[in-house]
Each structure stands twice: as C-alpha cells, then as structure tokens.
Amino acid sequence: MYQASVPLFVRQLNGLRNILDKAEEHCSSQNIDESVLLQMRIFPDMFHMGLQVKTTLFHSGGAAARLADLNVFDYFSADDSSFAALKKQTTEALQLLQGIKPEQIDGSENRMIEVKLLTYSLVFTREDFLLQFTIPQLYFHAATAYGILRSAGLELGKPGFLGEMPN
C-alpha cells in the first residue's frame, strides 16, 4: 500500500510544482495577472485551474493522510488566489508525504475508510480507495491542470509533468 501510494504521490506533486513554477514565471514574464490562468477552465462546467490543483492535493496528501490515519488538511477551503499559495500547499503536502512511514499504511488493505465529499460519503476498503478512487482522480486532476496551462500557451512537456523518475 505504501509503495503504491506515497512514492507515486511525491513524484506527481513534484511534477505539479514544476508546472506551477512555470505558470508563475509565464505570468511574470508576459505581464499576465495570475488570476487569469488560475480561473481558466477547459470547459465551463469543469473545475478551474486553482481547483484542479487543490483536488490533486486532496488526492495525494489528503489520501495519504487518510491511509495513515492522520488529520486531513482541508484543501478545498485553502487559498487558490496565487501560484505562490498553491506552491506552498504543494510543498506542505510533500512534507506530509515524506513524513509518512510504510508501517503507517502497509497491511491496511482490507480496513474500511469513509470519504466525506460535499453532499455524500463513500465507503471503501483502503485498497479500493487507493487503487480505484484516489490514483485515477490524482492523475485526472493533475493532467487537467497541465492541459489548462498548455492551452494557455505555456511550454510544458511530459518530463516536467511527471516529475523526477525514480532511481
């Protein structure tokens, strides 16, 4: 469970931090108000860029905290008004992840977990939570954030999105 979660989450959040750095630099060099990019969406009924990032954090730092039975930060109420704020939250999520030990998660596959969302709750085994809910959601929202920034003209590539390859 640990190997299928924490290292994967760390790698993806490092990739997220890469694209947030590039977005911040792009806004600065092109004299673009950050709120323009942070409020961008691929389609009107989709989450905006800032919320895509916060949802990525929910499905990485938040998921790992749940699996390790730690307090979960409220990513959805967090500040998304600047790239600096989102990068700070990403760094904090990375610090949380780096503090989790395998023994906090391993062996919990069959224990139940409840995830409360806005208007309903979902109950899973922890294995299903990780493999069937969290990981697909993590990649969906991270890729959507990437897609929004690419559509805004940022020069991003797959290596920056994926983060550093494991040794």
pLDDT, position 159: 74
Domain membership of residue 167 (yes or no) is no
Regions of the chain with pLDDT less than 70? 163, 165-167
Question: Is residue 68 in some structural domain?
Answer: yes
Which of 5, 142, 132 has its CA nearest to residue 64? 5
Q: Is residue 23 part of a domain?
A: yes
- Structural domain count of the chain: 1
Residues shown for the chain = 167
pLDDT at residue number 167: 66
Domain membership of residue 45 (yes or no) is yes
The model's pLDDT over 88-98, given as tens digits with 9 standing for 90+, comes to 999 999 999 99
Model's pTM, two decimal places?
A: 0.93
The reported pLDDT for the residue numbered 160 is: 73
Instruction: Evaluate whether residue 28 is within a structural domain.
Output: yes
- CATH at residue 18: 1.20.120.450
- Are 54 and 60 a contacting pair, CB within 8 Å? no
Helix locations, the chain, DSSP H: 6-30, 34-38, 49-57, 63-67, 83-99, 126-128, 135-151, 158-162
Q: What is the CA radius of gyration of the chain?
A: 16
In a domain, 1, yes or no: no
Q: Per the domain annotation, does 88 fall within a domain? A: yes
Residue 151 lies in a domain: yes
Q: Which domain holds residue 72?
A: 6-162
What is the model's pLDDT at position 162? 75
Please list, in sequence order, all residues whose beta carbon lies within 8 angstroms of the beta carbon of residue 35, skipping any fewer than 6 positions away: 81
**d(C-alpha 141, C-alpha 129), whole Å:** 16
**Neighbouring C-beta atoms of residue 79, cutoff 10 Å:** 12
**Which tokens is 3 given?**
């190997």
